[in-house]
Structure 1
Amino acid sequence: MRDWRKISIASLLGAVACIGSSTLAQTATPRPALTNEQAIQLFEEAGFSVTSGRPVNRCGGASNPRIAFVDLNGDGRAEVHLADVDPRCYRKPGAYFAIMAQQPDGSWKRLIAEDGIVGFDAARTSGWNNLLLADPDSACPGVRRFAGTDYGPPNRCSPFAASELTAASPPSPRGMAGTPISQTKLFDWTEDQTSDARNLPALKRAAIFQAAGVQAVGGGRWTSCTDDASGRSEAQLAMIEDINGDGRPEAMIRDSGSYCNGSVGVASSVLTQTSTGAWSVMLSTQGFINFLESRGADNYPDIEVGLPGFCFPYRRWDGTEYAIAARWDREGKPCHPG
């Protein structure tokens, strides 16, 4: 177990310079009060290990990442923009960034991380600043828009996307952990909500929604698609149940509406309750989620993601994330989307 007493916030953040605010299209925000544990977890969530109180990048090099505490969604609370430069480690242009948000339990959640230099646009999606990756500053140029719980799925410029990049050519129909992935659903229900989800007290339901980045928009309605003024986008707690037998419940949210989800019409999130009682997002994706009889790490059931078309991603918990393990059609044959 790490001895937190040997690592201070001063030693970890003391060498970190602030990013110049002239490049930012959002409000600089004072640094929130951080415990030693939260400071360490911030860097680890961004993809750094911490040795002797100093960050080490994914290539094993000592780093001096720069941090700005900024408000990206106008709620008065600080998000973190972390940037690092190491041409020997990072792809074009030899730089890396991560954006993170602090959760209700004080931990930090990564919203996006890519090799490149990010700019910030005054334009917003779902209340969050759009992110700009220009061609000279990234091998994956384009605009990143907030997608409800993060800035969209990872791409080849994300160091956390290895499973996504190999998913189009699955190595084996046996999946990631050596045991076969089943296409048989673990359970099914005929209504939109299980009875436990439908009867969950409002305060407990609100805590789950908030952990998933779903916002209250009045009249008892919640959604992550706050830009939809029609009122047709609405999130629902579909399930709350202990799906891996560890004594703590998991929850599934379905956020319906075509305004943000296009022809898919729904986005889904899976969360688990931690030992502290807080909720942590395990997966957020467009499409319908079905839990399957086969299981991955920590006894979590595999997931089929239902999307338009005839080729579906199958995800398995690897101890860190629900990574794509295969893409199959309804007959269990490997396929390629599009």
Structure 2
Amino acid sequence: MALAVAGTLGPAAVALAAPTTDARIVVEATNGQLKALKGKVFDKACNESVDYDATVIDLNGDGQPEVFTNLYGTCVGGMAGVFMQLYIKDASGQWKPQFGFPGQPEALKSKNLGFPDIAVGGPGTCFPVWRWNGKEYAPYKKCR
């Protein structure tokens, strides 16, 4: 089953687990910042509550979950309207945030080391592509 995060992750993402399990994974991955799969969270920099959603997926098909989160609004997401984050467990079992900036993720068919390349959409016509290097997602194709 394909699962989209904000409608764009596509066939490279595989849905995992039941909603209650997913919510626990989101709490763990975000270190308790987000408490459910969807809701509101207070953003100190914006001094307001913003809507969020979270999706638990298995990007690389290894049976271990990854977590995409989106915070919505122009205060946190600028012109893209969404601030995205991806949490991946490292070799020691610690959740490590990836991205952490405005944009809309789209998993591509191309892969590196088992993880899909991810295009980051936003305003405009050029969308940079990030690639997994074994430790983190790093810029792969930049906009010119």
The interval holding the TM-score normalised by the smaller chain is 0.7 to 0.9
What is the TM-score with the length of structure 2 in the denominator?
Answer: 0.73
Distance 1:189-1:281 versus aligned 2 partners, 3 A rule: closer
Distance 1:197 1:263, change over 3 A: farther
Alpha-carbon distance in structure 1 between the residues aligned to 2:78 and 2:116: 28
Distance in 1, matches of 2:5 and 2:78, equals: 25
Q: 1:198 to 1:191 in 2, by over 3 A?
A: farther
Aligned to 1:303: 118
Give me the whole-angstrom Cα distance separating, in 2, the residues matched to 1:266 and 1:286.
5
Query: Which amino acid in structure 2 is aligned with residue 208 of structure 1?
Result: A
Q: Which has the higher Rg, Structure 1 or Structure 2?
A: 1
Task: Work out whether 1:234 is the aligned partner of 2:55.
Answer: no
Q: Match of 1:110?
A: none
Residue of 272, 284, 287 corresponding to 2:103: 287
Number of residue pairs the alignment of both structures matches:
133
Contact 2:53/2:70 (8 A) holds in 1: yes
Task: Provide the secondary structure at the position in 2 that maps to 1:312.
Answer: coil
1:162-221 CA deviation, whole Å, 9 max, x = no partner?
xxxxxxxxxxxxxxxxxxxxxxxxx553976x975881444432112227xx467xxx63
Q: Within 5 Å, give how 1:56-135 maps onto structure 2.
A: none
**CA displacement 1:25-64 (0-9 Å, x = unmatched):** xxxxxxxxxxxxxxxxxxxxxxxxxxxxxxxxxxxxxxxx
Partner of 2:27, secondary structure, is helix
5+ long unaligned stretches in structure 1:
1-186, 328-334
Q: Given the superposition, is the C-alpha separation of residues 245 and 235 from structure 1 closer, same or farther in structure 2, using an over 3 Å criterion?
A: same
| Match of residue 158 from structure 1 | none
> Could you say which residue in structure 2 is the equivalent of 1:199?
19
Provide closer, same or farther for how the CA distance between residues 248 and 215 of structure 1 changes in structure 2, counting only shifts above 3 A.
closer
Residues 291 and 249 (structure 1), Cα distance of their counterparts in 2 relative to 1, 3 Å cut: same
Higher relative contact order (CA 8 A, sep 6+): 2
Residue among 313, 327, 332 paired with 2:128: 313
Gaps (5+ residues) in structure 2?
Answer: 8-13
Q: Aligned partners of 1:282, 1:227: CA distance in 2, in Å?
A: 20
Relative to its length, the structure with more strand (as a share) is: 2
Aligned counterparts, 1:1-338, within 5 A: 187=2, 189=4, 196=16, 199-201=19-21, 202-210=23-31, 214=33, 221-222=40-41, 225-231=43-49, 233-237=50-54, 239-274=55-90, 277-296=93-112, 298-327=113-142, 335-336=143-144
Distance 2:40 2:18 in 1: 14
Distance 1:198 1:253 in 2: 17
- Give the distance between the partners of 1:325 and 1:275, measured in 2 at CA: 23
AA partner of residue 72 (structure 2): S
Q: Give the direction of change, closer, same or farther, for the CA distance of 1:198–1:263 in structure 2 (3 Å limit).
A: farther
Q: CA RMSD in A?
A: 3.0
CA contact (8 A) 1:248 1:274 kept: no
| Contact persistence 2:77–2:101 (CA under 8 A) | no
Distance 1:198 1:269 in 2: 21
The answer to whether the 8 Å contact 1:273/1:280 transfers is yes
> Structure 2: which amino acid aligns with 1:285?
F
